[in-house]
Chain A
Amino acid sequence: MNPQLPAIHEIWVYLSGSPLLALILTLSAYQAGVMVYERFDRNPLANPVAIAIAIVATVITLIDMPYAKYFEGAQFVHFLLGTATVALAVPIYKGLDALRGRIFPLLAALLAGGATSIVSAVGIAKLLGADAAIIGGFYAKSVTAPIAMGVAERINVSPTLTAVFAVTTGILGAILVRFVLDAVGSKAWWQRGFAVGVAAHGIGTSRAFSVHPEAGIYASLGMGLHGVLGAVLIPLAVQFMK
């Protein structure tokens, strides 16, 4: 073989040994997810994160790349989760004005909703015979994924399952929100927005913004407050439930 021209498998060995392959794969899968999402008029069923996860999981299975190897490269994206969590201070700050005069009902609803989220998910999973590893993933699933994964690490449950359950919860919430809130007779936009933000974090919030701006503001407030209070209260609740 021509010595100046490395064989294709050598290039492959070189690439799969560097973080580049995992990074390209992650970013292009997400980009593909975003394109599909836009194509389907931002339908929650075509969630870009779920699409990206499916693409990356399929590709690394097909090319026989162990997950640990993939993560070694993709960890540079993963690292930014913490930074993005801190940056959530900005949207929360912008939503603080919306709290005025409504702080008591909002906090009461958040505590009730947050408790319902944990108790119902953990209760049903236990009832249907799920094991401890799966149940652990349910504790923080209604909290925005970057915070949920931080909480998962602190309470010694799988951040991966927590992230997957959080994304699924967001998608389900965005799809079901209209039917559920109509069924319970919730009418005010700020109340509808807050409910979907508390239950379905970021994915529910973007759905709320697409329906009504006031719903969107209160959804991001619900998501932000649930994130911050959840980070404090969920570890305590887990200790209590054990």
Chain B
Amino acid sequence: MIAGLVQILLFQGLGEVVARFFLPLIPGPVIGLVLMLAWLRVRGAVPPAVDLVATAFSQNLGLLFVPAAVGVVMFWPHIRSHALAVVAALVVSVVATMAVTALVLRAIAKDGEP
């Protein structure tokens, strides 16, 4: 498990370095993700230790953004005074996004039958 964590942390570090010096607009961890994806592709398989750690993370991903999201307490009065705009934007946008994505797929994909 530690071996897997070390490999993931190395790619995170590499991503931060690349972001800092070459691609300041892209978050370092995303560059780390892409580099790790390329490495997995070259390797042709996921090392079991990496798989173990990645599975643990993806099963509990939600936990990791609780600390930042709790900051909503500081925005609460602000959100309440714009409640209609926030709710309308969130609901309409997610409905429109799903509908457009599905419609584009159906329009241009050849194998659209279930």
Contacts and interface: CB of A to CB of B under 8 A. Distances in A.
Between B96, B100, B102, the greatest number of chain A beta carbons within 10 A of the residue's beta carbon is seen for B102
Contact of A53 (B50, B70, B85): B70
A128 B72 contact: no
Between B66, B91, B103, the greatest number of chain A beta carbons within 10 A of the residue's beta carbon is seen for B66
Contact of B105 (A120, A133, A194): A194
B85 A194 contact: no
A186 B105 CA distance: 9
A59 to B, nearest CB: 10
A181 B97 CA distance: 11
Given A160-B74, A199-B94, A231-B27, A167 B65 contact: yes
Nearest to B101: A113
A80 B64 contact: yes
B99 A124 contact: no
A83 B12 contact: yes
Contacts of A113: 97-98, 100-101, 104
A134 B82 contact: yes
A88 B94 contact: no
A5 interface: no
A159 to B, nearest CB: 6
Interface in A81-102: 81-94, 96, 102
B106 A186 contact: yes
B73 to A, nearest CB: 5
A82 B54 CA distance: 12
Contact of B102 (A82, A85, A181): A181
Given A82-B29, A134-B82, A108 B40 contact: no
B67 to A, nearest CB: 4
A210 interface: no
B77 to A, nearest CB: 12
B112 A149 contact: no
Interface of B: 5, 8-9, 11-12, 15-16, 24-30, 32-34, 36-37, 40-41, 46, 50-51, 53-55, 57-58, 60-75, 78-79, 82, 84-86, 88-106, 108-109, 111-114
Given A141-B90, A199-B97, 6 more contacts: A56-B66, A57-B72, A89-B54, A163-B65, A176-B98, A185-B106
